Amino acid sequence: MHTVDFSLRYPTDPAHVPGMLADADFQAAVARATSAESFDISSDGSPDAAFTLTIVRVMAADGLPAAARSLVGDRLTVRQTEKFAAPAGPERRAAITVTVDKAPVMVQGTETLRRQTSGVTEHLLHLAVTSSMPFFGSTIEQAAAPVITRALELQESAARDWLAR
């Protein structure tokens, strides 16, 4: 298992962030930023209460090593599920799971939205990257970590642009 801890900052109040995350236009901006070829988003519930957000992105696998492409093919289908609890107190929490079809890797963890300063939300992610690949699992987990970090950086940038409009 490899752990990724990451903090994003959004220039908005924490009450607005779940709605942003569940917004199809915002997710389209994230999909473009991460070079997704296509995406689908669905939400069950309301961002004002408990809700589940599911995002499926299809991405080219051309950036992967040849050995990895032999497992997943030319395209990756990335499935991300975020289960947000209802608002309670000063923080909002969610469980996150990310899987990649035909790839022996999974990401599971927690998200916390909290006010950092007036008008700024901190989005903390604590993620565990695991691989079921015998002998090479640790290598796969370590290789996935910078990809996850880059995707989160792109999400933060997309959020800043989206909130500034």
User: pLDDT band at 42, cuts 50/70/90?
Assistant: very high
User: What's the whole-number mean pLDDT along residues 43-53?
Assistant: 95
Pull the structure tokens for residue 145: 């970590």
Q: How much is the pTM?
A: 0.90
Q: What's the pLDDT score for residue 105?
A: 87
Whole-angstrom CA distances from 1 to 73, 101, 160 are 24, 19, 31
- Could you give the maximum distance between any two Cα atoms of the chain, in Å? 49
Going through the chain in order, the beta strands assigned E by DSSP cover: 2-10, 36-45, 51-60, 75-84, 91-100, 105-117, 120-131
The conformation of residue 86, written as its DSSP 8-state character, comes to P
Q: What's the pLDDT score for residue 129?
A: 93
Q: H helices within 7-136, ranges in order?
A: 17-22, 24-33, 66-72
Report the number of distinct structural domains present in the chain. Answer: 1
Domain limits at 89?
A: 2-164
Map tokens 């500034």 to a residue.
164
Give the tens place of pLDDT for each residue, 6-38.
Answer: 999 999 999 999 999 999 999 999 999 999 999
CATH code at position 117: 3.30.530.20
Q: What's the pLDDT score for residue 64?
A: 66
Q: Compute the mean pLDDT over every residue in the chain, rounded to the nearest whole number.
A: 90
pLDDT at 52 over 90: yes
pLDDT at 74 over 90: no
Q: Is 87 helix (H, G, I), strand (E, B) or coil?
A: coil
User: What's the whole-number mean pLDDT along residues 86-107?
Assistant: 92
User: What's the whole-number mean pLDDT along residues 70-82?
Assistant: 87
